[in-house]
Amino acid sequence: MSRPLHRGGFAGKTQSKQREALDRNNSSHKSSVSSPLTFVINSIFCDNSSPNSSKIVDGSASDLFNSGVFRSRGNWGVVFVKIGLVSVVFLALFGSLWWTILITTSSRGQIIKGYRRLQQQLVTEFADIAELSVGSARLKEVEFCAQEFENLVPCFFNVSGDLGSGDSDGNLYERQCGQGWKQNCLVPLPANYKIPLRWPTGRDVIWVSNVKITAQQVLSSGSLTKRMMMLEEDQISFRSDSLMFDGIEDYSHQIAEMIGLRSESSFIQAGIRTVLDIGCGYGSLGAHLFSKQLLTMCIASYEDSGSQVQLTLERGLPAMIASFNLKQLPYPSVSFDMVHCAWCGIDWDQKDGAFLVEVDRVLRPGGYFVWTSPITNTRKSLRNKENQKKWSIVSNVARNMCWEMLSQQDETVVWRKTSRKDCYASMKPGSGISICSKKHDIESSYYRSLELCSGGTHSRRWIPIKERRTWPSRANLNMSELDIYGVQVEDFVDDSMSWKSAVRNYWSLLSPLIFSDHPKRPGDEDPSPPPNMLRNVLDMNAHFGGFNSALLEAGKTAWVMNVVPTSAPNYLPLILDRGFFGVLHDWCEAFPTYPRTYDMVHGEGLLSLQTGQRPSCTLLDLFIEIDRILRPEGWVILRDTTPLIETARSLGARLRWDVRIVEIETNSIEKLLICQKPLLRKQLK
């Protein structure tokens, strides 16, 4: 609903002129002084549907009380209703003015300022009433998709995919983005959808109706999973006292000992902060490591039902759809401290070891690759020639990449990527792995084809993890570190300070919206939203990751998926080196996640960035994608130029969001758009 912005209050001279204008019938006066009251009266009495009615020009109107217009309508009841509205306006303004005069004049300046603010709010609200009274045409709302699209993931085969289909290599559900991916409808809710439980309860208990999985799939998914998950009538519980949780704790402790640490609590001191978990199950390892200040990103292939990624995200844990089959991962080189695979379904011996080369690419020097599989149990492999062959291929590729095997226990083996630069020069000829040319861009990998060449030490970020500062000191980069990314210290500091202020403002703005029905005494302030109100945030234009850093410093428990658009400067390496999560993405394509994924979507300058994209990439497409990603009752905060924010408000209304525009006191060029996606049970077609 459009709300014109007005400045200032009423002066006596302005009111006098307005009364003279209202008393003059059949006039076409055009005033150079526009007031909010004039706008309200114009909106109420001007019927745009009538050819004889006046039009608002520069805030004034003509023929407001033309008797011919009233007689032509033939409905005196409408006239009386509108006159009543005008009377209410005059009484409200007169009453507030009289109240101001009665109050002591000791603080006249503050009173007048507050009075003007009340006037602006009053006129804005009555402008909404006026807009409804004249029946202004609403923008057409976007329709909902058919119910079978409730778990739609564009760019992937879904809904009714043929499990027997695939490409020549037998790859199912591979990412295929193009002109055909776009949707022009909103993804509907599953039947009986419920708002996820607040963190940390929601990490361990999810609603069955929110995910596409059946009881049979849970019970048939393996003995370990059955011990981990207890399917109740309407919930799936990942219980902390289950055998599987204890198994995860013992397993992570085993990995720590194999690395040479006392326990998993020492991971941070050893320089380990971010973990890439391939085929993560349902995020149990990540949930456990989260309590140790480690961030674990789950990646798995798209699954039509019983998805690892969907259930992990529903728990509020980091996850995204990705696979090794054909393309590189959308992360730059040397980005993770550990890569983990436990029964992940990857055939590491295939394609001449290309999958292992991709692991080497994303691992930092001195980082760890942990693989748990029956193949790694050499005693049992001796009885199986096929497994023995696979183990031989994997171990040879690891040796050719200068990986060091640290330990091998039962079905788990741990390698460490070399920290020696001279090791790459001694790669054996004919091993199938070579060093990529210096022209090869190793920082901007975005779904490129898998390659058998190693990035070697070309990156300026090629720094062993033991030489990096540990978390949380890693988040605050110094001058020499910023120089690697071409960033000035002043710019970095200014960005950090502005985001600290922005987070405080966001929370103060959300307070009255969240607690609008909160009973309180006059003069009491609204309580602040709880720090665990959000479990995860998608920052669509992350820049330096300042929003992520400010949330952590403010004590918010949410983790942030920092997205660097492919059309923006690539600061993703900087974000990852700070110890945060991030990914490259083209926002003209669908984000690789399931519907109803994030509690908040944030974008600063994103709309300006998108308007310069290809013509087929519209803002409406972007908003429909945001709606797919956002959970019901989730929040959207966008900051951009005033014209783009006004456009965004109309788009949000088309998606049935609750939209509000907030002015930025220190910036007259930009505005904030704060939206909330409602929980719509009735999804009309």
Residue-wise pLDDT for 421-459, tens only, equals 888 776 665 566 778 877 676 777 888 888 888 877 888
Look at 290 and 79; give whichever has higher pLDDT: 290
Compute the residue count for the chain. 685
pLDDT tens digits, one per residue of 228-251: 566 667 888 886 444 344 588 899
Q: Which of 70-79, 168-177, 276-285 has the lowest mean pLDDT?
A: 70-79
Can you give the pLDDT at residue 485?
94
Q: Is the pLDDT of residue 390 over 80?
A: yes
Residue type, 552: L
Average pLDDT over residues 78-96: 64
Burial 463-472 (b: 16+ CB within 10 A, else e): bbbeebebbe
Q: What is the pLDDT of residue 456?
A: 79
For residue 454, the model assigns a pLDDT of 80
371 - beta bridge partners?
Answer: 341, 413
For 542-565, b where at least 16 C-beta lie within 10 A, e where not — what string?
bbbbbbbbbbbeeebbbbbbbbbb
Structure tokens given for 662: 């907030």
DSSP, res 404: E
Reduced to 3 states (helix: H, G, I; strand: E, B; else coil), residue 580 is coil
Q: Which residue has the higher pLDDT, 354 or 445?
A: 354
Comparing 133-137, 265-269, 459-463, 612-616, the range with the smallest average pLDDT is: 133-137
User: What letter would DSSP give residue 221?
Assistant: S
Nearest partner of 441 among 351, 572, 542, 349, judged by Cα = 572
More confident: 250 or 522: 250
pTM of the entire structure?
0.77
Q: Which of 61, 55, 20 is nearest to 38 (CA)?
A: 61
Half-sphere CA count of 169, side-chain side, radius 13 A? 8
- Structural contact between residues 58 and 30, judged by C-beta atoms closer than 8 angstroms: yes
Three-class SS state of 630: strand
What's the 3-state SS for 343-402? CCCCCCCCHHHHHHHHHHHHEEEEEEEEEECHHHCHHHHCCCHHHHHHHHHHHHHHHHCC
Specify the pLDDT at position 55: 36
The yes-or-no verdict on residue 158 having pLDDT over 80 is no
| CB atoms closer than 10 angstroms to residue 257 | 16
Give the C-alpha separation, 510 to 117, whole Å: 20
Mean pLDDT of the chain: 78
Rounded CA-CA distance 269/368 in Å is 15
Report the sign of the C-alpha dihedral through residues 339, 340, 344, 345, in that order.
Answer: positive
**Cα distance between residue 378 and residue 580, in whole Å:** 37
Percentage of residues in the chain with pLDDT exceeding 90? 49
